[in-house]
Homo-oligomer: A and B are copies of this chain.
Amino acid sequence: MVQQTKSAPQTSQGLPPAPAPADPKQSLAEERQNPSFPVRELTTFIDNGPAAAEYKERVMFELERDPLWRMDNSPDLSLAQIRERTMAKVANLVHHLQTEPLDLFWQRMAVISVVDPAFWTRFGVHFGLFFGAIQGQATAEQLGYWMDKGAFTLNGLVGCFAMTELGHGSNVAGLETTATFDEETDEFVIHTPTITATKWWIGGAAHSANYSAVYAQLIVKGKRYGAKTFVVPLRDTATYKLLPGVTIGDIGKKMGRDGIDNGWIQFTYVRIPRFNMLMKHTKVSRAGDVQEPALAQLAYGALIQGRVSMVADSANMSKKALMVAIRYAAIRRQFAAVPGQLETKLLDYPIHQYRLLPLLAQTYALNFTGMEMTRVYHALMRQINGAKDGQDLTGILEGLKETHATAAGLKAFGTWNCLNTIEQCRQSLGGHGYSAYTGLSGMYTDFAVQCTWEGDNTILTLQCGRYLVSTLLEHRQSGKPLAQNVAYLARALQPVQPCPARTEADLLRTEVIREAWGAVAASAVARATARFEKALQAATSGGKKVTKDEAYEQCATLRLHAARLHCYGYLVARFADAIPRAPASVQPILTRLCLLYGTYAIQENKGEFLQSGFFNVDQIATLHDAMSTLLTQVRQDAVSLVDAFNYSDYIVNSPLGRYDGNIYEAYFNLVRANNPNHNDIPYFDKIIKPLHNRSLESEEVPQLDF
């Protein structure tokens, strides 16, 4: 390639001298000199009060000092080592479960979920899933029995939750495992009839569990009654040898969360007593009569809890990711504005602000959303638990339906956005984001599963969308009142009123932004509903009527969009609601963040706003400029805003996210400590030396002379 110049080379006079390198610690410290708000007051507000903030700090301190909880060497542990260490943590944590009030214990678990998601899963499989199934589905007598066996103390009983099968996930009704009642012996026979019926992904099955809660098709007298839950022993408690008829294997390597021992299970005609079917709802009598409850919906409560906690978890994991990315961006420098001067901090580039600060604002929004969802969930559970015999449950059921739909949508919205935040933060570290020691890559691979389990995100978003469409239809057709969180749907019955605000000052108000989100979500729900009705009216080519379910499938894309916009609006509204409850000293910064999130999200979805007619192109352009200004303002407080998240260096677990800013030294030392065998090339003699010393003969081709 001719890369040579054609003109004569020139004798060079050299460049100006290089500036002295910046001190990383100083670069970070200077960011904390003039926060526009008192950081501690913001912390206690977002941590739900001073007591909770202090308890969180105590837990962080305890974990940091316990060698069992050391995390900075985890990238180099083998699967076997990780599994063992995680089980040791389970044994360690049981102490707190039994000595600490349950609300504090859950606060402890919320910290731990950010430290070690695989552990959190391993512990949660027993307590959330197995024990949760027993609590929710056992009769009082059965619950007592399993408690005596050690279901709460893990003294004799570690359980797993055997629902999913190799060929069956989201559709529980399609499970193939059978539980056939044998009237002669008063037993159920649990059986895996095909390879696709193999219980799959069962957390705890490979190593930890000696019992399982198995979902299987109940068959009595040759008739199927749908999937019910059965407690099936897997292993001898004294030896952990598999019981007859039980085959278990290890699911092996996963994208992440290797600390949890997922396994597969096949049952070959395993007999259990009738007592082991959980019979709070459906009952099978000694004679084989099957009784089913009239109202099944109330069991949704259990689903909601998991999803609500995942919204909070999404906020917390996003905090951790942003603490690394924003502190790093305040230290890392790249390109000098003037040759010979100090390079510019990444955080001073408008594009870097645009990459990270809206995610920061979103994380605050998710935090307040998680707090509010938790409050709503507990209030609802109190209502349900306080219901008296014979009371009309219609109101409670409506609330449950709305909360169930919103929790489904927000679980999907929160986990997708958290995964995106982690990845954006990872990419913002440049090459260092690809190292296992800077934390973000492991966060991504650990977190990714959250988009799938406890309800696949796409299916959950569609569920939320279906609720929105059916709610709008019922409201329109029969005037059924709208729950508070979907009150905006009333707008869908009227033509869109374009926003009258024109100037930046008029547009940039939380009321306006909030109203805009209501208007656009209503418009999207209306569009999905129109598509649904059109599909319902059309006959298929064969002349057959389209069913309601088919019509819902036809409008699925629009339903998905509508639910997404509903969730955006929900976050904006929860953020705006939180501001007046905050101390006055932090209200201005929270307002800026709320507006930043709202305007950013409007830009990301400007097509919807223009399509709805609520904003015109001039208003969109004005809001874009307003967003740019907000980015510049929030940038000034960026480091203080992540400091306020109140996670110690131990929790952040990344040398690039250190509080003191000494990132390069810490990173270098960590890489060196985890890779001590510097000059050991085990395959030098076997592969490299022969490569260098090979004869090239075999690579030469002898030539004929004709």
Contacts and interface: CB of A to CB of B under 8 A. Distances in A.
Nearest to A80: B682
A485 interface: no
Contacts of A237: 692
Contacts of A94: 691
Given A431-B164, A434-B254, A2 B556 contact: no
Contacts of A390: 6
A517 interface: no
Q: Is the interface of A mostly helix, strand, loop or mixed?
A: mixed
Nearest to A153: B696
Given A99-B701, A434-B255, A556-B354, A678 B7 contact: no
B452 A433 contact: yes
Contacts of A689: 240
Interface string A57-96: 0000000000000000001101110011001101100110
> Shortest 5 CB-CB distances between A and B: which pairs?
A14-B223, A606-B607, A607-B607, A255-B441, A253-B436
A641 B451 CA distance: 28
A585 interface: no
Interface string A411-452: 000000000000000110011011111000100110011011
Contact of A240 (B7, B80, B158, B684): B684
A503 interface: no
A4 B176 contact: no
12 contacts: A15-B224, A15-B225, A18-B224, A91-B687, A91-B690, A155-B692, A249-B671, A249-B678, A255-B444, A256-B434, A351-B557, A441-B445
Interface string A19-34: 0010000000000000
Given A18-B217, A171-B343, A553 B280 contact: no
Contacts of A256: 434
B292 A12 contact: yes
A144 interface: no
A399 interface: no
Interface stretch (A47-55, A182-190, A192-200, A402-410): A192-200
Given A156-B692, A294-B9, A550-B337, A699 B95 contact: yes
B684 A441 contact: no
Contacts of A84: 682-683, 686-687
Interface string A224-258: 11100000000001001110000011111111100
A452 B332 CA distance: 16
A620 B611 contact: yes
A10 B283 CA distance: 10
A124 interface: no
A494 interface: no
A531 to B, nearest CB: 9
Given A195-B664, A294-B10, A610-B617, A176 B437 contact: no
